[in-house]
Chains A and B, each alone.
Chain A
Amino acid sequence: MCSTAKKKGNCIEYTDSGLPKTAIRFEVNGDNFEKKVDPTMTLLQLLNNELKLFGTKEGCGEGECGACSIIMNGKAVNSCLVLAAEADGASILTVEGLGQGNKLSILQQEFIKYDALQCGFCTPGMLMSARSLLDRDKDPNDDEIKEAIEGNFCRCTGYIPIIDAIRSAAKREREELK
């Protein structure tokens, strides 16, 4: 009927457990991919296991902690709750895509400067939520910053340096990126 594998006229591949794989085309950090995936695979698993992009982390697998946050079609989402199949046609940004060439982005620089990280495990997801905020709002106040990262748990920093870093990054982006 409407399984995407058939639609595209490709030959159908099957998983080891006998499920027809879903064909997807998507872009991550500017690179284009075509894959046939197990329909039960999540976007997080696609990034980690298929694309070997390990920056995005699994903290809980249930959308509570935000460690797996990425930006999909311009929106910050928890990749553990998205099926890889749903990434068909999507444009995805992960922590690996934040820098420009061999230069860290302003956001990453400010995270370092304000020590907005300790163990670093929540950091990729935190950066993506911050990136999403600054894409939507160039001058967020502290309450808006807290709202944007509310879904990103950090056990190490107490959030204070993270808020400082994002505030500072917002200011620098306003001044330096025209």
Chain B
Amino acid sequence: MSEKKLNHIGKGYDRKEAQEKVTGQAVYVHDMEVPGMLYAKVLISPYAHAEIVSIDCSEAKRLKGVKAVVTGKEACQRVGLYMVDKNIMAGEKVRYQGEIVSAVVAETEAIAEEAVTLIKVEYKPLPIIDSLDEALKGKNLVHEKLHTYEHMKGVFFPQKDSNIASWNRTKKGDIKKGFEEADFIFEEEYTLPAVAHVPMETHVAIAQADPYSDKVKVWSSAQSPFAVRQLLAKSLGIAKGDVNVIVPYVGGGFGGKAGVHLEPLVSVLSRAVHGRPVKLKMTREEEFNTLPTRAEMRARFKTGMTKEGKITAMEVYHDWDSGAYADYGVNVGKTAVYSGAGPYAVPNIELHSRTIYTNKVFSTAYRGFGHLETHWAVERHMDMMAQKLKIDPYDLRMKNLLRPGDTTISGELVYPTTGDPVACLDAVSKELGWKGRKSEEERKQEMRTGKVRGKGFAMLHKAPAMPSYTSTAAIMQMDEDGHVKVMLGAVDFGQGANTIMAQVAAEELRLPIKDVEVVWNVETDKHPYDWNTVASKHAFMGGNAVRKAAGSMIQQMKEVAGQVLRCHPDELTHGDGYIYHIHQTHRRLSYVDLSMGYAYENGNGIGGPLIAHGIYMASGLTNPDPETGQGRPGLVWTFGAHGVDLEVDVETGEVNILRVVSAFDIGKVINKKLVDGQVFGGIVQGVGSALIEGYKFDEDRKLLNPYFGDNRIPSSKDIPDEVKAIYIEEPKTAQVDGPYGARGIGEHPMISMPSAIGNALYEALGINFHKLPFTPENVALAIDKHLRNDV
């Protein structure tokens, strides 16, 4: 890792699009109007599981201003890539309360809303599969034809005649032997509910389907325009080239907009109105009730430990309640196979990750992609084992953390440059002031004051979960002023991607930051491919692609300049807007003079417009073995740790987070302001999962809290009193194959917040929580029970 001076990397520049956003000029699909546009509204199912006996749209169709009413009969195409289990609209039956059953297209939203109330649907309720255990019994099935569904073979494993969409496994070593070597075996179970992403801009899409050809144009609030293109084309049975997806500013994603959601539906609706553009905007209630969530999950750990505190074996069951559909859910389930036991060296393990269907709103990608859920369980489990072994939780983790030379549970070798979880735990422990556990006496004394304090910490790690051959690309163009425009297929939905990429380009091209712009409004017809803007991989992958593109542009300039200056291109270097000879520095040409090719005095022109591209292909990844999950799935690992210092009001159960200290081995901070933003935002979103959020259903699996009123997220008053972020930028452990040593950070700050808080609550109260969230109610009732048991 060279230590040369960096001009732009490490600078906390303002984000490039800030002005548009603070003036109200930024246009989101929510705001958009397209000529000829019509408006759509949907009818959702009141039942969690029911046959659709009949749908009578006649009255709705007759309402003045209604242009079309569409049901599952017309929108029967399948959607999906990994587990193709979903129709664009419910067909023969509905599988969750909230599922879209019909849609109206009308001249105004108001007319569409009224028409929806005129649609008459007859349902025949079916037995409801209302829990993981009920689903695992397999008596009633959410998907009777599961075994006929198209899916990625060898990657996902649907179990015929069951509710298991996929059963993925890791098998390493010999757990039977491992458990025999253990002095203690600990078994625990942890659960957490489904939560919503809550982007401030709800899902919205506009589609314009050409009635005379296959062409479809879609504007969508989406994270992954190329995934939308791919899935939409597959769904409608058309060529990808016939689909153009445009993404302007996006009001938040968090994984909820990572896949394809409304786009196929609006495309079908546009076709139903002879190609007029149709806009469908989800209300906040529909966002909660109809659109997918993070999965509900139950983790069961059985761990063998020596009395010194070394892990000898683990047997893990991660059961994901993916709700009614699992196209993205199976991915989350599969991912747990390579990281679902925490950042620890586990010599023998069998990990089962089952993605399971039930009758509730379905699950999708969510910030952390299963890692918040698995690390909620494993980091609580580590803490509880430390309690029982009477080993300090810091020491217990230190004994088992992954170190260079160790292998992960999927057999991936850890290098020094994979990252340093030990350094993260050390940093957090020091900053938190961890001095060891409280005694029960101390706790009892403090309880009497009505307020108790506790400190806790938890580890985290994550690598992207993506196909082993995922790639990205960047295109660069120079204009006549010597300014550069960069085009990427990834979407900046607030995480700062475009600013980071501009910094990378400016660094490589040695241009002022103001002369480099990343082009907004990603359009699949114009911009180069990017898989999905997810997985905290864009700084790494996109950064590498941009560096290559910059290198190519410089090389093009050097080749033309070499002719003009009459020297070999290798004798040239660049900077200050010039290509110049490395020794006789006055022999030079400006970027401006090269931007459109070079024109000699006599009129001859050589070269041409400077357009460069760069690609990055994920290097050295392999598919996990279908039986054992062994392979190399993790492109870039980011390790981290959270420390929490909190106070509990033992009478009301209110948890007050006084301080969060977090450390991440990020390799290189490209822009501290933007990285801080991801850290603060992720931590607070983690606080939401820990203290506030959780879907509630009645006995018929109808969602009880589809409004902000009863489904709250952290407000300005719910944040920790203090947050401190520590960034480890140690060259020896930085990401050497990444841009300047940088790794991803977007998801990581949210992971393990609930476990760190849970561990601090144990310190404070002497109570081990196995469920989320730690609402005042849940904490107060647990304290009350604990005190009554003690008496």
Contact = CB atoms under 8 A, between A and B. Distances in A.
Interface string B231-258: 0000000000000000001111110000
A interface SS class: loop
Contact of B716 (A57, A127, A149): A149
Contacts of B493: 119
Given A112-B18, A119-B494, A157 B677 contact: yes
Contacts of B26: 120
B681 A118 contact: yes
Contacts of B684: 157-160
Nearest to B718: A159
A157 B681 contact: yes
Interface string B690-710: 000000000000000001110
A59 interface: yes
Contact of A119 (B27, B252, B683, B715): B252
3 tightest Cβ-Cβ pairs between the two chains A and B = A55-B24, A121-B251, A119-B494
Contacts of B674: 115
Contacts of B27: 54
Interface stretch (B194-202, B311-319, B401-409, B469-477): B194-202
Interface string A76-100: 0000000000000000001110110
Given A104-B22, A123-B22, A64 B708 contact: yes
A159 B716 contact: yes
A113 B14 contact: yes
A115 to B, nearest CB: 5
A160 B723 contact: yes
Contacts of A120: 17, 20-22, 26, 249, 251, 494
Interface of A: 16, 40, 48, 53-62, 64-65, 67, 94-96, 98-99, 104, 108, 111-115, 117-124, 127, 145-147, 149-163
Contacts of A59: 200-202, 284
B441 interface: no
Given A153-B713, A157-B684, 13 more contacts: A54-B24, A57-B201, A59-B284, A61-B283, A111-B22, A118-B494, A118-B496, A119-B249, A119-B250, A120-B494, A121-B201, A158-B719, A158-B723
A122 B681 CA distance: 14
Contact of A153 (B17, B31, B283, B715): B715
24 contacts: A16-B65, A55-B25, A62-B708, A98-B23, A108-B22, A112-B18, A112-B19, A119-B249, A120-B251, A122-B200, A124-B24, A146-B717, A150-B715, A153-B713, A155-B252, A155-B681, A155-B685, A156-B200, A156-B494, A157-B681, A158-B719, A159-B714, A160-B684, A161-B676
Nearest to A110: B22
Contact of B680 (A16, A117, A161): A161
B769 interface: no
A151 B708 CA distance: 12
Given A120-B249, A155-B685, A96 B24 contact: yes
A160 B680 contact: yes
Contacts of A57: 28, 30-31, 200-201, 251
Contacts of A111: 18, 22
A60 B23 contact: no
Nearest to A97: B24
A127 B15 CA distance: 17
A112 B20 CA distance: 10
Contacts of A114: 673
Contacts of A122: 200
B22 A118 contact: no
